[in-house]
Amino acid sequence: MDLNPRRFEAPFEKYEFAHHILDSKADIAIMPMAWLLSQPAESLVDQAHVPDADTLGYWIQRLQPVLDRGGQGQSEETIFVACNRTGVEGDACYAGTSAVVGVSKGKMKVYGRLGRGTEDLLVCDVPAPGKNSAT
């Protein structure tokens, strides 16, 4: 499925996506998503430039095995790119909060992020594979 347990049937702590990142020795994981906002829809306007901390925190939580073991590719850091939809469509209110995060053993670095209601292009400089800047 995505960051969540497959079909919501697998145990929460199985972390299939995070283990796939580790098993494939990926230096970068790009995740296009349409996560819903857990806050009232008005916050898309009132707090448009503020990321949804609960959503970003959950995404990082779902990467726990990568955080525990560190990158397995050419570098010790895995770059996670969350490309999340923002706005309202019918009853759906999307959380935005697109982000570029570096995850390594015991460390996490947010290279850039957008707000929950921000429609923009996020451009970030990240280290080349083989370089560890999460220290």
**Mean pLDDT, 10 residues at a time, over the chain (135 residues)?**
66 84 91 89 87 92 89 81 93 94 90 95 86 49
Residue 114 and residue 81 in contact, taking contact as beta carbons nearer than 8 Å: no
Flag whether 53 is in a domain.
yes
Can you give the pLDDT at residue 135? Answer: 45
Can you give the pLDDT at residue 130? Answer: 64
Q: How far is CA 129 from the centre of its chain?
A: 19
Neighbouring C-beta atoms of residue 13, cutoff 10 Å? 8
Flag whether 83 is in a domain.
yes
Tokens of 52: 């949804």
Flag whether 64 is in a domain.
yes
Can you give the pLDDT at residue 6? Answer: 64
Flag whether 122 is in a domain.
no
Flag whether 133 is in a domain.
no
**Residue among 48, 36, 18, 49 nearest 85 (CA):** 36
Flag whether 125 is in a domain.
no
Flag whether 20 is in a domain.
yes
Q: What total of structural domains would you count in the chain?
A: 1
Residue 56 and residue 114 in contact, taking contact as beta carbons nearer than 8 Å: no
Can you give the pLDDT at residue 1? Answer: 45
Flag whether 91 is in a domain.
yes
Question: Structural domain of residue 61, as residue ranges?
Answer: 6-113
